[in-house]
Amino acid sequence: MYFILNKTIKFYPDTNELAIINEQDNSIVLSKPASRLLLTLINHLNVVVTRDYLLKTVWEDYGYTPSNNNLYMAISELRKSFSSLNGGESILVTVPKVGLRLEALVDALEKGGNAEEKKETRTETEIEPLAEEKPGEEEEKKISSIYRLKSNTGVKVKISLALILSSLAIFLFNLEENVPIKIL
């Protein structure tokens, strides 16, 4: 299966490839995360998909560490690819502090021998918009334990620093002027 975006760009999820229709020689191979991101946005067409959902489905579900930087890099890669294929980067719409939306006319086509069969045309997704999820009890415990760990680490560093400084002060205080310091 492959997709045609706005009647101009073909997207092959199997090979992570974007190409202009009728110009297969002029194609761009996307990174796997950028390809998974585009496929996720196609599956949620014209719906704002939250950053948390994208991080989970594009990175975490595949065993990678999700981060906002990874997401921004994949979005940038997609925009540059669309721009270089003259497809317009404006089909990727950032909704500040919420997420991302793909605004495009998408045709899903099946590859089949010599004839290609049009499966469906989508202008809107059939999937309900994603609601903001609130952390459950387990997630709240995990978050609070992370904060506790961070605060405990700061206390341990301060105590260690205080011990080192006090040891140094005692050493310097007890040091006599006439006694040479021996370095082992």
Instruction: Quote the pLDDT of residue 182.
Output: 66
Phi then psi for 107, rounded to 5 degrees?
-105, 130
Encode pLDDT of 145-163 as tens digits.
Answer: 444 444 556 677 788 888 8
102, with CB counted inside 10 A (0-12, 13-18, 19+), is buried
Mean pLDDT of the 78-102 span: 85
Instruction: Quote the pLDDT of residue 145.
Output: 47
Q: How far apart are CA 127 and CA 47, in angstroms?
A: 9
How many Å separate Cα 183 from the centre of its chain?
Answer: 52
The pLDDT of residue 71 is above 60: yes
The pLDDT of residue 78 is above 80: yes
Q: Where does the pLDDT of residue 178 fall: very low under 50, low under 70, confident under 90, or very high at 90 and above?
A: low
Share of the chain above pLDDT 70, in %: 70
The pLDDT of residue 52 is above 70: yes
Instruction: For the chain, give the mean pLDDT.
Output: 77
Instruction: Quote the pLDDT of residue 177.
Output: 59
The answer to whether 92 touches 80, Cβ cutoff 8 Å, is: no
